[in-house]
């Protein structure tokens, strides 16, 4: 099951503070240098409605957020984003570069919150049909370093306020998924300085073919 549209669907994942934002811009510039049209987006979010759902999800609140409600809100945002923005771009042959996607749901809601992987897989099929990313970069870093970077940058949101153990579980799901499907996932050591991280990404990009899919 994968993407059969003319475009390519690339996702970037990782725990907190791994440098997704910094590196997505690098990937975009590398792809554009190959003459590729790139559309960058993020999850949760990417359309006005999905961005509103993002605000609901990230806000710290007194009321405990039910884990299944959180899961369904992630997929509600994804359905909107996918149908309004991602699929039309892919159909036109653009490369979609997305900051997080369903791997984050397996990692955060499946790993961090301990929700059923089967339930997540059912929602994935419902919302995405057979569409899956062509390639996924997992920026990997030890959890403590990532959290230090994230806290130096901005105030913690509802997810960033979780305990270390939560993020260790998130990280282990990412690494397990990458191990199970090595042809799709590229693990990048994000603990190095930015230039060294980008050199690893550039090496992966050099191995790709940029011909349109027939």
| Nearest residue (CB) to ligand Z5A, 6 versus 145 | 145
Site for ligand Z5A, rule CB under 6 A: 14, 16-22, 43-44, 74, 99-100, 104-105, 108-109, 149-150, 153, 157, 159-160, 193-194, 197
> Smallest distance from the beta carbon of 128 to ligand Z5A, in angstroms?
12
Classify the C-alpha dihedral 127-129-134-140 as positive or negative. Answer: positive
Q: What is the 3-state secondary structure (H, E, C) of 174-204?
A: HHHHHHHCCCCEEEEECCCCHHHHHHHHHHH
> Smallest distance from the beta carbon of 168 to ligand Z5A, in angstroms?
14
| Nearest residue (CB) to ligand Z5A, 95 versus 166 | 166
Measured distance CA(149)–CA(4) in Å, rounded: 37
| Nearest residue (CB) to ligand Z5A, 7 versus 112 | 112
| Nearest residue (CB) to ligand Z5A, 19 versus 133 | 19
Measured distance CA(101)–CA(14) in Å, rounded: 11
> Smallest distance from the beta carbon of 141 to ligand Z5A, in angstroms?
8
> Smallest distance from the beta carbon of 8 to ligand Z5A, in angstroms?
19
> Smallest distance from the beta carbon of 214 to ligand Z5A, in angstroms?
31
Measured distance CA(212)–CA(182) in Å, rounded: 23
> Smallest distance from the beta carbon of 212 to ligand Z5A, in angstroms?
28
Measured distance CA(132)–CA(109) in Å, rounded: 18
Q: Does 44 sit behind a cis peptide bond, omega within 30 degrees of 0 on the bond before it?
A: yes
| Nearest residue (CB) to ligand Z5A, 109 versus 128 | 109
Measured CA distances, 58 to 7, 172, 173, 204 (Å):
30, 22, 21, 32
| Nearest residue (CB) to ligand Z5A, 95 versus 159 | 159
Measured distance CA(126)–CA(97) in Å, rounded: 22
């Amino acid at each position: 099951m994968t993407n059969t549209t003319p475009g390519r669907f690339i996702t970037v994942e990782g725990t907190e503070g791994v440098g997704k934002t910094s590196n997505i811009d690098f990937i975009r510039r590398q792809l554009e240098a190959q003459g590729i049209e790139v559309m960058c987006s993020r999850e949760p979010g990417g359309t006005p409605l999905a961005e509103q759902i993002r605000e609901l999800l990230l806000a710290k609140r007194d009321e405990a957020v039910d884990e299944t409600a959180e899961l369904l809100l992630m997929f509600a945002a994804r359905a909107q984003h996918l149908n309004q923005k991602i699929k039309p771009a892919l159909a036109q042959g653009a490369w979609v570069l997305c900051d997080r996607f369903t791997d984050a749901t397996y990692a955060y809601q499946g790993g961090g919150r301990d929700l059923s992987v089967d339930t997540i897989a059912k929602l994935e099929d419902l919302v995405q049909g057979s569409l899956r990313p062509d390639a996924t970069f997992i920026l990997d870093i030890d959890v403590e370093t990532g959290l230090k970077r994230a806290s130096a940058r901005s105030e913690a949101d509802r997810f960033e306020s979780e305990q270390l153990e939560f993020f260790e579980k998130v990280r282990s799901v990412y690494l397990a998924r990458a191990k199970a499907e090595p042809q799709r996932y590229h693990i990048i050591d994000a603990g190095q300085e930015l230039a060294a991280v980008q050199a690893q990404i550039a090496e992966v990009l050099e191995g790709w073919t940029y011909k349109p899919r027939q």
